[in-house]
Chains A and B, each alone.
Chain A
Amino acid sequence: MTDSTDAPMVAVERVSKAFGPKQALLDVSLSVPAGQICGLLGPNGAGKTTLFRLLMGILRASSGSLRIAGRDAFEQRVEVKRLVGFLPDEPVFYSYLSGRETLELSAGMHGLPAPATLRRLAPLAEKLGLASALGQFAEDYSRGMKKKLGLMLALLHGPQLLILDEPTNGLDVEATRLFYELMRQESARGTTILFSSHLMDQVTKLCTHAAVLHQGRLAVTGSIQALLARHDGQSLEDVFLRYTRGDAP
């Protein structure tokens, strides 16, 4: 098992994934250094969710390798899940559990003592404005509250990598700003963040790196600065459209 500190946190090498006759990803290679924030961009159906599921060990790549902190994302998925926090696009919760019980359940399933974990998460709950609602059934939360609870679940076990699927979708302006702040704090702590978004402005503000997926292939990847510099100071939106419309050089 490799656990070298100079290895990238996420190393995707020549990964392809097919679902029967349908090719979802084709020869994708991507590397995200530890502590960086990487935005994964792509039109609908580009393969972003498939890549996330591959990284979570829920799917197995048809070919190629995916490693997280040096561990094979599928073969060592149990260890990988200890390192990764995940937030889906539309988090849905058990209708019969309150927010607090959902957190307690997740802490238990990660092998963490529930009371200590809740104490540790209390400041975050206060910050997110969720503390007073934790006693309510999570299913009754608004969309934004569900996102916040999902984020708390993702952060609950102190992951080294956060995989977030359109995390600000459904959040109001204040919550979105709070989210930016949290992501910067996590990144400063050394957490690597990989998130998908359709908001170019958000990616430009928050990310150090970006990757564009188009029709299952990686169209372009690199640091934000390098991408913008390579395209004569165009906006990220222009760069994105250039690659996804197929008129890239």
Chain B
Amino acid sequence: MAAAWRRAAARREQRRTLRAQQGGDSTDWGCLGSAFLLFFALGAHGLAARLLADVPLAVQRAQAEAQGRLLVPWSALEALDRLEQATPAPPRRRSEDDLRRIFQDAGQWLGEAKPHDYEERLLAHYRVRGRDGFTTVPARWGWANDGGRLGAPATLLASLVMLAWFLGLALQGEGVDLDPQRSRHPMWEWLLSHPVDPRAVFLAEMLAPLAANVFFWAAPVFWVGAYWIAYDDFGLALVAGLAVGVPLCVAAGCAGKAIEVVALLRLPPRRRGAFLGLSAWLGQALLMALVLIAVTPGFVLAIVRPVVSLGAGAGLPILAWSLGLEGSPSPWKGVLACWLLAAVVTALAVQVSARATRAGLAGAGERTADQPWLPAPAGRDPLPKDPAARKELLWIWRDRGALVQVLLVPLTVAAVQLINLRGLLPRVTEQWHLMTGAVVVFGSYFLIVLGPRSLISEGAALWIPLTWPRGLESLLKAKARLYWLVALVIASPLLLITAIRFPADAWKVALAGALFAVFGRSLAEKSVTLVGAPSSSGEPEPVPRGRRWAALLGTLTFGVGILSQQWHLVLVGVVYAALTSAAMWQNFRARLPFLFDPWSERLPPPPTLMHAMIAISALVEVQTVLSAVLAASLGADRPFLAQALGYGVSGLGVWLAMGLWLSDRGVQAGDVWSWDGREPSGPPLLPQALGAGLGLVLGAAAVGYSALVQQQPDWGQALRTASAHLAAHPAERFWLAVMAVGCAPVAEEYLFRGLLFRALDREWGGARAIWGSAAFFAIYHPPQAWPPVLLVGVVGALLFKGTRRLWPCVLLHMAYNGVVVWAG
């Protein structure tokens, strides 16, 4: 036990060291974390035990309802009898107030999600059936004192709860977190080389989970709860529960370890990790399922009803034996039976492990590779040409452990979140955008969970990609593609269900799905940049908080856009996610060579795409705050003045601040104002005249576009109101012109073309960089102005790259803004 305890402590210490290596907070919050986990585990076991009270009640309710009777508390039935004797009257004429007083607590007593609805149902039922339409149960707790006869369905279901609890505990393993790669070989070979009985070695090894996992420490609570519910005597339950709980915990730990030993020794290598991963998942999922069933009103009844209607009669004896309900009930009979069971399970686990060891390692036989596609039949090869993508698909096809890592782990994490948000679920299915939004949020969460664990599946074979040119980069991109495909495969049927449920809005669901496909690709690529080098023990490195937040940029906007049916926000989310993906990959590519050498890591030289995006975001944030302050001080009747001054001051401020920040890092102004940092040859006037001319043309086009937009009722009204306001306030118009022509073009061209487009061109290059930077430029403007602004962004980028100067872009922007402001 002591050795197991030390090993668990060392594992915690290793996690702390990894955090410290990442430059993160190395404070040991282990005690607090363990206390929280212990509290959670106590609650989980307690809730699982509560099912032993809920299940019999639900069975009796289902049986009563099958006979047309409704279940009410004993007190309610007594009160109803008294009322009928005191004031005889037909049910239809009975006072509603009297009946409500009698039935008011019934819903709560049954654990109904909507107690008031149940009360209404009871009232209506009474009017039809009268007193005969109701029945009750003597007591929810202490049913063992009533002879312990629960009936076959209740005994069967309660026994299944106990079995699920035991299996859930046995398959927990040493960690409370899911560990799909749990195939680390303990030091058995070394241990077994000593002159000791292998059974003693395995017994010692089997106690390890008990020392490391708080779910084992809290497990006796289940038995204290079980005895308390059965005998309704807390003192007796405490003694009997502890007496039973501790040995059964040991038995569960031993059984789990025996399964692990047999899997490691006797299964072929490809199935080993998968089996252990699945068993770990099953352990977590069973306990989570018990908690979910216990905390969700109506869930127990929903499970019980079909069992009762099928008339399931073959009861498992687990409940009766473990609680001493056979014959005349006695808890001590149950304690003895559990001790016997624990001893048998423990001895069997040790014996099985020792036998598996004697049989030796298996799995390295002359097996031929299972090659469903290679060589491709009839010359057709359905696998992708890209070798890394091909490898990833073969991984998911052949290695069952991949399903655990790619599907079960994220789905379980998402399921835990669903438990937290279960109250919202019924509402979500009422409207297409809420249902679609939920699918999108789920898909995004799925992608974010997968990325950081990307290299774990490589295991010790990671040396191979390290020998390829750009090996890790290609591999991670391929993994991002795979995760994206899996996310789409999961989201598609859910979206299809949404479309079928809301046929009138099917095209909107399809559009949201298509946009999610674009958005999800960016999110998947961002997610894999959160990867860390797996340590030799398989512990994943913690992801720095800032990086995790950066990966989520755009997700909230995209999700809110769909949930609130604002398509322009959805597009902003798509563009923002694409640009942050490029920015994170630019930084990641610089960091990638140091994945295994964090001591040598250097930051990528400025200005990067991330620097540009942070500066642009700062401009928007500062401008918003400043404009709000100015609007408050200047008065609400001069909105354009506040906006103009706020934007002008913040634009110039951010431009100057960024210039100084870059200058401190060796990037001079000339490096930004020219394409390649060199003074371009040729006369400067021609490009500048070209810029101004193009600005006039684009401005004229924007005026034409504005005339078209005014035909649209909402946008047209807003534009007409703004024009009328400016016409009535020439001073505001003047300051707006000064901002739009004098300040904004300089600051925006510096940020969007000088920094952002240049950095994006390094990352994406070509037309993608031009359209990407222009789209980013457009989303910083009101949605009605997107098309002309997008065009300004495209022409500006082409002009910058073509003339290798930024000033022509500034003149283009000035001319464009000038025409738009002049035209009102």
- A18 touching B463 by the CB < 8 A rule? no
Q: Is B766 an interface residue (CB 8 A)?
A: no
Q: Is A173 an interface residue (CB 8 A)?
A: no
CA distance A91 to B471 in the complex (A): 17
Closest residue of A by beta carbon distance from B371? A98
Task: Give which listed residue, A60, A82, A91, contacts B600 with CB less than 8 A.
Answer: A60
- The proximity string for B residues 462-505 relative to A, scoring 1 for CB distances below 8 Å and 0 otherwise, is 01111111110010000000000000000000000000000000
Q: Is B93 an interface residue (CB 8 A)?
A: no
CA distance A153 to B366 in the complex (A): 22
- A97 touching B391 by the CB < 8 A rule? yes
Measured CB to CB, the closest approach of chain B to A234, in angstroms, equals 37
Q: Is B461 an interface residue (CB 8 A)?
A: yes
Q: Is B399 an interface residue (CB 8 A)?
A: yes
- In the bound complex, residues from chain A placing their C-beta under 8 Å from that of B464 are 93-94, 102, 105-106, 153
- The proximity string for A residues 56-81 relative to B, scoring 1 for CB distances below 8 Å and 0 otherwise, is 11111010000000000010011101
A-B CB contact pairs (8 Å), 24 listed: A18-B599, A53-B596, A60-B597, A60-B600, A77-B593, A81-B467, A81-B469, A88-B463, A92-B463, A94-B391, A95-B269, A96-B399, A97-B369, A98-B369, A101-B374, A105-B464, A106-B468, A109-B469, A109-B471, A136-B369, A137-B269, A140-B366, A142-B364, A154-B467
- A101 touching B593 by the CB < 8 A rule? no
- In the bound complex, residues from chain A placing their C-beta under 8 Å from that of B596 are 53, 58-59
Q: Using A77-B593, A96-B399, A135-B369 as known contacts, say yes or no to A140 and B269 having CB atoms under 8 A apart.
A: yes
- A109 touching B593 by the CB < 8 A rule? no
Residue numbers of A with Cβ under 8 A of B are 18-20, 53, 56-60, 62, 74, 77-79, 81-82, 84-86, 88, 90-98, 101-102, 104-111, 114, 135-137, 139-140, 142, 153-154
Q: Is B398 an interface residue (CB 8 A)?
A: yes
Closest residue of B by beta carbon distance from A154? B467
Measured CB to CB, the closest approach of chain A to B126, in angstroms, equals 65
- In the bound complex, residues from chain A placing their C-beta under 8 Å from that of B270 are 95-96, 137, 139
- In the bound complex, residues from chain A placing their C-beta under 8 Å from that of B604 are none
CA distance A92 to B364 in the complex (A): 14
- In the bound complex, residues from chain B placing their C-beta under 8 Å from that of A104 are 387
- In the bound complex, residues from chain A placing their C-beta under 8 Å from that of B470 are 78
Task: Give which listed residue, B365, B386, B390, B469, contacts A110 with CB less than 8 A.
Answer: B469
Closest residue of B by beta carbon distance from A75? B593
Closest residue of B by beta carbon distance from A78? B469
Q: Is B318 an interface residue (CB 8 A)?
A: no
CA distance A111 to B368 in the complex (A): 28
- In the bound complex, residues from chain A placing their C-beta under 8 Å from that of B366 are 136, 140
Q: Does more than half of chain A's interface fall in helix, strand or loop, or is it mixed? A: mixed
Q: Tell me the B3-41 residues at the A interface (CB within 8 Å).
A: none
- A62 touching B600 by the CB < 8 A rule? yes
Task: Give which listed residue, A86, A107, A137, contacts B467 with CB less than 8 A.
Answer: A86
- In the bound complex, residues from chain B placing their C-beta under 8 Å from that of A58 are 466, 593, 596-597
Interface range for B: 35 or more
- In the bound complex, residues from chain B placing their C-beta under 8 Å from that of A111 are 469
- In the bound complex, residues from chain A placing their C-beta under 8 Å from that of B269 are 95, 137, 139-140
CA distance A84 to B469 in the complex (A): 10
- A105 touching B463 by the CB < 8 A rule? no
- In the bound complex, residues from chain B placing their C-beta under 8 Å from that of A95 are 269-270, 273, 399, 459
- In the bound complex, residues from chain A placing their C-beta under 8 Å from that of B273 are 95
- A153 touching B467 by the CB < 8 A rule? yes
- A105 touching B387 by the CB < 8 A rule? yes
Q: Is B363 an interface residue (CB 8 A)?
A: yes
CA distance A39 to B463 in the complex (A): 22
Among B395, B466, B469, B596: residue with most chain A CB under 10 A? B469
Measured CB to CB, the closest approach of chain B to A140, in angstroms, equals 5
Task: Give which listed residue, B388, B398, B468, contacts A96 with CB less than 8 A.
Answer: B398
- A60 touching B469 by the CB < 8 A rule? no
Q: Using A78-B469, A96-B399 as known contacts, say yes or no to A57 and B593 having CB atoms under 8 A apart.
A: yes
- B363 touching A140 by the CB < 8 A rule? yes
Q: Is B715 an interface residue (CB 8 A)?
A: no
Q: Is B594 an interface residue (CB 8 A)?
A: yes
Measured CB to CB, the closest approach of chain A to B273, in angstroms, equals 8
CA distance A57 to B467 in the complex (A): 9
- A97 touching B394 by the CB < 8 A rule? yes
Measured CB to CB, the closest approach of chain B to A141, in angstroms, equals 8
CA distance A214 to B665 in the complex (A): 40
Closest residue of A by beta carbon distance from B473? A78
CA distance A211 to B807 in the complex (A): 59
Among A58, A91, A98: residue with most chain B CB under 10 A? A58
Q: Is B367 an interface residue (CB 8 A)?
A: yes
CA distance A6 to B217 in the complex (A): 69
Q: Is B728 an interface residue (CB 8 A)?
A: no
- A137 touching B395 by the CB < 8 A rule? no
- In the bound complex, residues from chain A placing their C-beta under 8 Å from that of B399 are 95-96
Q: Tell me the B373-416 residues at the A interface (CB within 8 Å).
A: 374, 386-388, 390-391, 394-395, 397-399
